[in-house]
Structure 1
Amino acid sequence: MGDPTPPPPTPHPAVAPLSYLLGTWKGSGEGGYPTISSFSYGEELHFFALPGKPVISYTQKTWKLASGEPMHAESGYWRPKPDGTLEVVIAQSTGLVEVQKGTFNEQDKTIKLDSDMVGNASKVKAISRVFELVNGELSYVVQMATNLSSLQPHLRAVLKKL
């Protein structure tokens, strides 16, 4: 008999309130904006704790549902603070970079983020993201503002943990 697989390392205490995110999530979403046609997409998110560090690593990828052709990807780091605030940095495959700040509610499993800075973007001026865990499903809404409009709905998805 072989040894059983060891359990994953215990996340840093700062990560514990968001440990429900850890793992891989997959599902589908819808997008649109006043300046583009609406679209549907498949998506996979991956959150993993860095052993001994007060940070969660994050990757995301999307694809066209009909063809499986890749659409968008981004990666970054989420840094939860003991006071319920959250700092997030994200680099998108388009070259756009986001620095977001926000809050998390451990009891309601709700995360609210607003851009503190959007870099390397000629048109995008602000991005907000709201994540909620409801009945075991992770849903989110992304809003975006450009040089032509205030915050408008852009993306919405529902994901299940694999």
Structure 2
Amino acid sequence: MMMNQETPSSSSSSSSSSSVHPSVLPISFLLGTWKGEGEGGFPTINSFKYGEQLTFSHSPGKPVIAYSQKTWKLASGEPMHAESGYWRPKPDGTIEVVIAQSTGLVEVQKGAYDAEKKVVKLQSEVVGNASKVKEITRTFEIVNGELSYVVQMATKMVTLQPHLKAILKKL
């Protein structure tokens, strides 16, 4: 019962906005858990579809958002990919992001956000522990209340190309 009482206040952005750190407030539209489907592809792999859950959480008083993501095969539910990290928005509209992937790849990204348009654009500064991947961009945007994102990737053999895209609904 105690958990049920806490759930509404932790998922409602309006009731919890007073506890959101001022640096996080401009991108608080991301906070919560999002679920949906996506599709992926790349010139060197076959196209695929997947289910996904993405969570952006915030500890009151901290100027950072914790990020976690997991995907699965739609037909079987078998796990596919997972990643987690931290997003640190700055008052000047820039953002710093670190992401560790289940494949061992690590991204250090920088970018910018537009609080009015509800858009975050990220560009990799460093892609570590990747033998092939050399660049990753990510764009997140709220469109009609849903979270839409596009991931582009470049490898040593292929220039920056679309890799993943999904539309997720807030749970």
TM category (shorter chain) comes to over 0.9
| Equivalence map 1:54-93=2 (5 Å) | 54-93=63-102
1:153 paired residue number: 162
- Identity over aligned residues, as a percent? 71
For residue 43 of structure 2, the aligned residue among 21, 26, 34 is: 34
1:104 aligns with 2:110: no
Query: Residue type matched to 2:47 in 1?
Result: S
Amino acid in structure 2 at the alignment position of 1:64: K
Q: Which of residues 95, 120, 129 is equivalent to 2:138? A: 129
TM-score (norm 1): 0.96
Specify the code of the residue in structure 1 equivalent to 2:21: H
What residue in structure 1 maps to residue 52 of structure 2? 43
- SS of 2:26's equivalent? helix
Counterpart code for 1:29: G
Please name the residue that 1:94 is paired with: 103
Which of the numbers 122, 126, 143 marks the counterpart of 1:117? 126
In structure 1, how many angstroms separate the alpha carbons of the residues matched to 2:121 and 2:60?
Answer: 25
Distance 1:147 1:43 in 2: 28
Q: For residue 80 of structure 2, what is the amino acid of its counterpart?
A: M
Deviation >2 Å, runs of 4+? 4-9
* Equivalent-residue separation in structure 2 for 1:68 and 1:145 (angstroms): 28
Does the residue aligned with 1:150 lie in a helix, a strand or coil? coil
CA distance in 1, matches of 2:48, 2:35: 17
Q: CA deviation at 1:52?
A: 1.1
- In 2, the alpha carbon distance for the partners of 1:112 and 1:18 equals 12
| Separation (CA, whole Å) in 1 of partners of 2:93 and 2:61 | 20
Q: Provide the aligned length of Structure 1 versus Structure 2.
A: 160
- Structure-1 separation of matches of 2:105 and 2:41: 18
**In structure 2, the residue corresponding to 1:58 is in which secondary structure?**
strand
1:22 paired with 2:37, answer no
- CA RMSD of the aligned region, Å? 1.4
CA–CA distance in 2 between the matches of 1:51 and 1:121?
34
> Gaps (5+ residues) in structure 1?
none
